[in-house]
Amino acid sequence: MKLLQKLVSAMLLLLGVCANAQTSVKIDNQGTQVDGYFYATKKDGVHKAPTIVALHGCGGMLNPRGKPNFRSNAYAKILNRQGWHVLFIDSLSSRHVKSICTDGRLVTQAQRVSDVQAAVAYLSKQSDSVDAQRIGILGWSHGGSTALLSNDAGVDYLVEPRAIVAFYPGCLDTKGRRIELKPIRPVLMQLGEIDDWTNPIPCQTLAAQWPNKVRQDTYAQASHGFDSDGPVRAINLKLPRENRTVHTGGDPLAKATSQAKMISFFKEHFK
């Protein structure tokens, strides 16, 4: 009976997440039509709302059926509950790429940063529903790195984003050097202490370098992808110059705490 109850609860949760309504949009980025998925908040009394630009990791944001995956829908639901719209940007599909986990040259960080600029420009024109003075940027892993790089002083926007949140970003470039940037908007990084995919130490160093702009929390014994629901598992990455075994998987406490801090941070900067 307990097993049946758990299965029913899981199905109800899944149905609730999958019930999110999204609208497919095309975002023009200098001639490239980038796929976007706009999740409008349904919170009562909300009309023009703050909006989060959300950036997927290296594996993309679509499931095998070509639809937004569980993580995308789940985070859209969390953010919609706050009265915020969410615009997920699919930087891979429009470029006919499925994954960049083993070769970041297929879609570069420069291309992804330009996708963020184009997405913010797109949102600035949605005056009936979007409060363009309250736009945030949120990314995971490779998308977390994009979020950080999109916050450099040299990146221009039609309207200025207000805050950046990056979950377990990589803070090294493709040559193993710490990324160089001058952050000009508030940043919150959420890091895993034992992350062997994107080492947290360079990100901790970055936060120490810019204490007035960058905050970070590092979760003890948390791996890459600690905000997921699945158990920690090993993945073999076949990279151009080496093979690496990395680990990814959920940590319930780190997940709950980091998501609460994400919400609190955006609320702070959307005032």
Question: Can you name the residues that pair with 164 across neighbouring β-strands?
Answer: 137, 187
Phi, psi values for residue 222, rounded to 5°: -100, 135
Q: Three-state DSSP class for 154?
A: coil
According to DSSP, residue 78 is labeled: H
Phi, psi values for residue 213, rounded to 5°: -115, -30
More reliable by pLDDT, 179 or 233: 233
What is the rounded average pLDDT for all residues in the chain? 91
Give the C-alpha separation, 94 to 30, whole Å. 13
CA-nearest of 51, 52, 258, 239 to 168 is 258
**Residue 46 pLDDT grade (very low, low, confident, very high; cuts 50, 70, 90):** confident
* Tens digit of each residue's pLDDT (9 = 90 or more) over 211-255: 999 999 999 999 999 999 999 999 998 877 778 899 999 999 999
**Residue 20 pLDDT grade (very low, low, confident, very high; cuts 50, 70, 90):** low
pTM, two decimals, is 0.91
> Which residues 6+ apart lie within 8 Å of 113 measured at CB?
146, 149, 150, 155
Extract the tokens encoding 103: 């070769």
Give the C-alpha separation, 156 to 114, whole Å. 10
Between the alpha carbon of residue 182 and those of residues 117, 151, 161, 205, 264, the distances in Å are 17, 8, 15, 14, 24
> Which residues 6+ apart lie within 8 Å of 104 measured at CB?
58, 142, 174
Task: Answer whether residue 15 shows pLDDT above 80.
Answer: no
Residue 178 CB neighbours (<10 A): 14
Task: Tokens 């940007």: give the residue.
Answer: 89
Give the C-alpha separation, 228 to 132, whole Å. 30
Task: Answer whether residue 86 shows pLDDT above 90.
Answer: yes
SS3 content of the chain, % helix, strand, coil (to 5): 30, 30, 40
Task: Answer whether residue 187 shows pLDDT above 50.
Answer: yes
Extract the tokens encoding 176: 């193993």
